[in-house]
Structure 1
Amino acid sequence: MRKSLTLLNFIVVFAIFSSCKNNTEKKELTIKVSNSLDFSRKEVVAVGTENLFELLKNTEKEHIKIKKQGTEDFLLTQWIDNNLDGIMDELLFQAETPANASVNYVVVIDSINTVKETKAVTFSRLVPERTDDYTWENDKVAFRTYGPEAQRRIEENEYGGTLSSGIDLWLKKVDYSIIDKWYAKNVETEGYYHIDHGEGYDPYHVGKSRGTGGIGIWENDSLYVSKNFKTCKTIAIGPLRTVFELDYAPWSDYNVKESKRISLDLGSNFSKFDIKLVSKKQVPNYTIGITKHDGKGEVKLNKAKGLFRYWEPIDDAFVGEGIVIDEKLVKVSINYDAKTPDQSQVLIVTHPKGNKLSYYAGFAWTKSGQVVSKVDWDDILERQRLIVKNPLILSIEK
């Protein structure tokens, strides 16, 4: 009798398990990712949480996984809460699509299998150990800008300050995160990250210039700019995308209130800048800049396409910098030379939509292995322009 009950219990448990397994297998959806361009693409894409509602009803979000159809390995994913209200808005993954083709990805529930970790990630943070830089990076590039403590030290004649709202570039040779390491080493030995120890270094000078992607107001042959950011807020740090916000004290005679939301995706050479600008009176010429340093580089302006490039020698290599922007937002572009230090710049004079201005700013260094010549950099800029105009299209099949 006991053996019969044991066998019966086993059959019941097996039936329940099989039923749950079958139900779980049915709880999936297919995402078709379509690429309309004539080159292959590998980009971070977002699935709105509303499309995952049925899957999320009876499971934790950590159990939602994505794989390319026909494969078994799960992809890296990242949940994003864009407005920090405690509710996740999007699930990110990196889609890879051939030219003029579509690829299917499958979203499933899986609480057992894990996703392979990778050393290539995005990252950003405030760095109080170096006054108060805000620094961000991915597997290809790194940037930084400067905060209120750095400003205070300049204004009160203390050592270690920086007065600039320009965007600094850190030149990387490696695909893993270097921010924490370089700053930690710099605390031990001041100036550490200004020397290439095999991973790259920071030879780029910003000063009062715009660096690559800082903004200002161009008026009467002068560029008026903000001081350092006043506050910062980290929105997301993850393997696929980092997002943060910088707010500035009102600046210029127009009393401009500026707020930047900056994001950087894995695999991209470009930070996206979404800027909100509010002023008491109409501002004539919001302007994006790229510093020309000593003017030994080569400028290329293409207003019709919204592409602006500077290719310059730095030490024994070259760096290509660039801005990609909707050409309809561009009034005029200027290759400006000045006798004042840090004021020779590429200037892109814009007319924002309402009180918002969006663009992409980025770079590539020849020692990173990403480019060899300015032709390579021009190709990357052109591809970025096409990517922005023709985003990957996601179709959900439930």
Structure 2
Amino acid sequence: MLSHKIPILGFIYAIDCIFGIGKMKGQSSIQVKNTLDFARNEVISVPVSQLKSFLSNNKEGDLRIKDHQNNFLPIQWIDYDSDGKKDELLFLAAVEAKKTNNYTIMADGKTPVPESPVTTYSRLAPERVDDYAWENDKIAFRVYGPKGQQEAVQGIKSSTLSSGVDIWLKRTEKSIINKWYKGYLTDPMFYHKDTRGEGYDPYHVGNSRGTGGIGIWSKDSLQVSQNFVTSKTIAEGPLRTVFELTYHPWSEYGVTETKRISLDLGSNFSKFESNFTAEKKVPNYIIGITLHNNEGQTQLNNKNGWYLHWEKIDDAFVGEGIVVEPAIVEKSWARKSKVADQSNLLVVTKPKQKLVYYAGFAWQKSGQIKTIQDWENILQKQSQIIAAPLLIKIK
């Protein structure tokens, strides 16, 4: 049978060339395989090094991607090291359980790249001292900068001294960062009230770990850094936002930290990548979630590497969580204290030079979850996604 097919394929290719189809040289497809038993809708990262053949024959700006239904997809290029050269190509892949999808790479400078109705976004926010805030279509976060630390030390109540991670409860797919900070300029309580149907910020961080802050557990106490000292936006666009924060040396071990944070469209979890150097041998690194006033429920799953907190804030429940590779976890526990902001769910990890983990949340009023079981299922799926990433083959 094979000997009969070869000339037919050759004939089809020849016809394609006559009519101007198939002129593109280089890679022509991306195969994406989902080995898990649930559907996945995830951002795919393709290193530019794997597109050399295509880009040597076609302009970067002409690259387009079509799905198996012949629809053009939104794409995003990222230059991670700011050298003016693209390092990675992103697109969103929707793959059913135990299925494989094929995406077509083509050169078509005449067809515009589709605009996404939703996006990711991040920036430094000098409107409120110097927060750094980031969001996608589901969730939003912020952390606190050096001016905020300086003002907090001076006793200015509107500023925060903390390396904890704040969460903003949003119930709109639209971007809210710019709108909420603009409102803050005339009303400091603007985003602390849920009066516009978009959500609000009722979450208290203080000196706790918030949702995903880190530290070192030593001598029966938690040692943490202070506010970040520098920030750098690497990318913000329809599919992924990426930025980096640096911190002054902290703890008795003289730890210097650079933290890269990214958030993909459609995800309930930010990815945190902390790179450390230390003057002394470090016993561990911990990841934490505030337990506020020791209320709510916790679940600790060392086997699968996910950790859950479920609490009621005002009139609705919020689920916060951490997901990490189980192999790096030493132990975990819910540490309760009578001291303000010192009650945290703590995940103790082996002291590596690079710590990678995911932290995120879901709010009942966003419509994403109704029960603690819903949130548990999302955490379980995220742990499976980390363990079994989509398989990508470029042809």
Contact 2:34 2:96 in 1 (8 A): yes
2:116 corresponds to 1:118 = yes
- Spell out the pairing of 1:233-244 with structure 2 (5 A cutoff): 233-244=232-243
Runs (4 or more) in structure 1 with deviation over 6 Å come to: none
Residue correspondences, number? 378
Measured in 2, the distance between the counterparts of 1:237 and 1:305 equals 31
Q: What is the match of residue 343 of structure 1?
A: 342
Please list the CA deviations of residues 353-384 of structure 1 after superposition, one character each: whole Å capped at 9, or x if unmatched.
Answer: 3x111100010000000000000000000000
Is the CA contact 2:284–2:351 (under 8 Å) kept in the aligned structure 1?
Answer: no
CA distance in 1, matches of 2:242, 2:19: 38
Once the two structures are TM-superposed, the CA of residue 156 in structure 1 deviates from its matched residue by 2.5
Deviates more, 1:277-286 or 1:111-120: 111-120
The amino acid that maps onto 2:270 is S
Change (3 A) 1:23 1:103: closer
- Give yes or no for the alignment of 1:57 onto 2:56: yes
Rg comparison, structure with higher value: 1
Deviation at residue 70 of structure 1 after TM alignment = 4.1
State the SS of the aligned residue for 1:93. Answer: strand
Q: Amino acid of the residue matched to residue 126 of structure 2?
A: P
What residue in structure 1 maps to residue 85 of structure 2?
A: 87
User: What SS does the corresponding residue of 1:376 show, helix, strand or coil?
Assistant: helix
Given that 1:235 and 1:244 are in contact with CA atoms closer than 8 Å, whether structure 2 keeps it comes out as yes
Q: Partner of 2:310 in structure 1?
A: 311
Q: Provide the secondary structure at the position in 1 that maps to 2:382.
A: helix
Q: CA deviation at 1:159?
A: 5.0
Displacement of 1:25 after TM fit? 4.9
Q: Deviations over 1:140-196 (max 9, x none)?
A: 100000000000101223453210100000011011111001100111211100001
- Give the RMSD, CA atoms, in angstroms: 1.5
2:27–2:105 contact (8 Å) kept in structure 1: yes
Q: Offset at 1:80?
A: 1.1
Tell me which residue corresponds to 1:274: 273
SS of 2:249's equivalent in the other structure is: coil
SS in structure 1 at match of 2:209? coil
For 1:108, the aligned partner's letter is M
Confirm or deny that 1:224 pairs with 2:257.
no
| d(CA) in 2 for partners of 1:140, 1:85 | 31
Aligned letter for 1:275?
Answer: S
Give the 3-state SS of the residue equivalent to 2:250 in structure 1. Answer: coil
Q: How many angstroms apart in 2 are the aligned matches of 1:180 and 1:62?
A: 29
Q: Which moved more, 1:106-115 or 1:199-208?
A: 106-115
Q: Which amino acid aligns with 1:31?
A: I
Q: Deviations over 1:254-286 (max 9, x none)?
A: 111011000000010000011011111111121
Counterpart for residue 163 of structure 1: 161
- 1:85 Cα deviation from its structure 2 partner: 2.0
Query: Secondary structure at 1:214's aligned position in 2?
Result: strand
Query: Alignment partner of 1:37: what SS?
Result: coil
Within a 5 Å distance, the mapping from 1:164-179 to structure 2 comes to: 164-179=162-177
Q: Look up the SS of the partner of 1:186 in the other structure.
A: helix
Pick aligned residue for 2:355 from 332, 339, 357: 357
Cα–Cα, structure 1 residues 109 and 274, in superposed 2: closer, same or farther, change >3 Å?
same
Shift of 1:26: 5.6
In the TM superposition, residue 222 of structure 1 has moved relative to its aligned partner by 1.1
C-alpha spacing 1:298/1:23, structure 2 compared with 1 (3 Å): closer
Match of 2:319?
Answer: 320
Displacement after TM superposition at 1:330 (Å)? 0.8
CA distance in 2, matches of 1:70, 1:337: 53
The residue aligned with 1:291 is 290
Unaligned runs of 5+ in 2: 1-16
With normalisation by structure 1, the TM-score equals 0.92
Q: Is the 8 A contact 2:283 2:351 kept in 1?
A: no
Q: Give me the whole-angstrom Cα distance separating, in 1, the residues matched to 2:18 and 2:124.
A: 50
Give the alignment's TM-score, normalised by structure 2: 0.93
Q: Do the aligned residues in 2 keep the contact of 1:27 with 1:109 (CA within 8 Å)?
A: no
- Equivalent residue runs for 1:37-56 within 5 Å: 37-56=36-55
Residue identity over aligned pairs, in percent, reads: 52
CA shift in 2, pair 1:75/1:253, >3 Å: same
Equivalent residue, structure 2, for 1:371: 369
Structure 1 segments unaligned to the other structure (5+ residues): 1-17
Q: Which amino acid aligns with 2:233?
A: T
